[in-house]
Structure 1
């Protein structure tokens, strides 16, 4: 219910005959829900989508292949009514991972998939749409030092082409979420900044400014949120956030712990 208490009945179990992992759940304009994730066995990973009604009835589900590994980490209902996902693809064992935008029709039929690569292992972690542009927050992990990561904002047109990107040049950052565009025309990104030696983590919050009709982004402001002493913990880890519009604030969800 609205207080987070489980209603009468068992949890709804959804999935394939393989191992399934759901990363994201969004509500669509028709009132149904879309879950995005991956299905995998010992040799391959597929992108996985399932559309369920408000009472949990499966309306359609589908796996997407063509790669050694394909994962959908986040999903968004595009302005044209279709579905866009981000995550990563890997064509062959030993290849670097590439961030993706994967687009389907409302019934799950594939439209296209675009891959984007830099000299890193790249994973798309969040996706939104502004006026005629898609924006993907990615985490880039160094191929020789898995502790060294940065975040990058990828921008494309609504066909996934004409990409531009902005790298946040702060080491040991991992991306988590993006908000919609704020009234000033900018957007906020959320991540974590973890020191590889001490394993102490703080929350990273950045404001990105859109330039040239949204084609280029640049970091305008940023802040690091350390753990409050009142929590009796040494690390804060963010997972997602949402704007509290009537208060011009952001509500951040995550967890606390000790290294």
Structure 2
């Protein structure tokens, strides 16, 4: 009996210690929330009397940064533009945020830039869509085409090419691949292309009769823009890719949204889902997975974590299936997956209104910056000046919120992209229609927005 009592007492002691350690662990985990802070260094709005927007930013080799978006104005901060159609607009800044140069590219119709990267030769590659067939554009295949430009370090065009068919084909993302070429991703209007847009070795099920509307479209080109392969992926409804990344095996992960439940999509959970597609180096579909719930869920950006897994961000209106919590109308939703697409964790951020993520990028300390917008004034969101405010967050690799801040005025303000510079300051870009609170002036309808955090 004494042996039993002693063993029982030892067991109670072990359980007590384990419970104490568990409580300590939970306390330490929760204390990670809002453990850092940032200060606003500056907020700037640039533009003219019409509409401007910044869609993407890239850190440059000289410690500065380059911004890509589009402009409609002929006045104000815009130079060397000859008509009021939309043109690509690129601005290059040094590490102290001094403007070094700016240039516009386009024709007499609607041309809008969506993504920019600095290339290994120190120049730039940019992508978006074009409706023009004059000016800097030599041809147009239909309504809109992917339009890609390769630039020197000073913004001079080395080459430009358009890719598309008769419909609205929108280029969203460009990445430089390990072989020195590029992967382009965006939307192909398969109905208008009459089933064209696949390489000859594509699966036979990829045809006009199997697909409809917009599909994920991936185009692999060499360093001079020549097509090496192109394939589309999706189903009979709307499938839109927003970001891509090259994987360790030289394949690719594409992320976006899908409301299809046929052809390439096998596990649709509701209306629109996060749809993740794994491709081989030659564009073959390796696997695909849907994440989300019964409502609308849209993935917008992907980044690789230091442990070899991937974090994907977007927004969710669901509160079931993969989504454990919904705080309001729409939440910023982040998920972490393995290289084979298994869900590691998922987390929702936001308040009782509409809150979304539009980009994610890795920081020097292996954490992540998320850019988006918010309409909420509760939960961790302590200020909202009007409608949508630009929203910037930092999370760690486990999805714990380290800090967040909003910038805006009484009108609509969006943050589309952000990057951490070598000096650890953060530059965020988007657009704004406000002229009060954080925004001192507005030049027209909407301005290009830049702000810096330290």
Same fold (TM over 0.5): yes
* Per-residue deviation, residues 78-118 of structure 1 (Å, max 9, x unmatched): 1222100111111269x510012111111112222100112
Partner of 1:86: 127
State whether residues 36 and 48 of structure 1, in contact with CA within 8 Å, keep that contact through their aligned partners in structure 2.
yes
CA distance in 2, matches of 1:195, 1:183: 29
Residue of 16, 21, 28 corresponding to 2:53? 21
CA distance in 1, matches of 2:96, 2:180: 33
Partner of 2:182: 134
* CA apart distance, 1:29: 1.8
* CA apart distance, 1:245: 3.1
Q: Confirm or deny that 1:44 pairs with 2:105.
A: no
Residue of 71, 95, 98 corresponding to 2:112? 71
Residue of 241, 264, 269 corresponding to 1:175? 241
Higher helix residue share: 2
Aligned length: 242
State whether residues 87 and 101 of structure 1, in contact with CA within 8 Å, keep that contact through their aligned partners in structure 2.
yes
Q: How does 1:1-259 map to 2 (within 5 A)?
A: 7-16=39-48, 18-41=50-73, 43-91=84-132, 95-130=142-177, 131-141=179-189, 142=191, 148-171=213-236, 172-179=238-245, 181-194=246-259, 200-211=271-282, 217-227=283-293, 234-246=295-307, 248-257=308-317
* Per-residue deviation, residues 119-159 of structure 1 (Å, max 9, x unmatched): 43111111111113211002123559xx9210110111111
State whether residues 67 and 89 of structure 1, in contact with CA within 8 Å, keep that contact through their aligned partners in structure 2.
no
State whether residues 106 and 132 of structure 2, in contact with CA within 8 Å, keep that contact through their aligned partners in structure 1.
no
CA distance in 2, matches of 1:82, 1:4: 35
Distance 1:68-1:77 versus aligned 2 partners, 3 A rule = same
Which structure 1 segments of 5+ residues have no match? Answer: 212-216, 228-232
CA distance in 1, matches of 2:50, 2:279: 39
Which structure 2 segments of 5+ residues have no match? Answer: 1-33, 74-82, 134-139, 194-211, 262-269, 318-328, 331-454
CA distance in 2, matches of 1:139, 1:238: 15
* CA apart distance, 1:235: 2.1
Partner of 2:382: none
TM-score scaled by structure 2? 0.49
Higher strand residue share: 1
The structure whose RCO (Cα within 8 Å, separation 6+) is larger is 2
* CA apart distance, 1:256: 2.0
CA distance in 1, matches of 2:154, 2:35: 31
Partner of 2:265: none
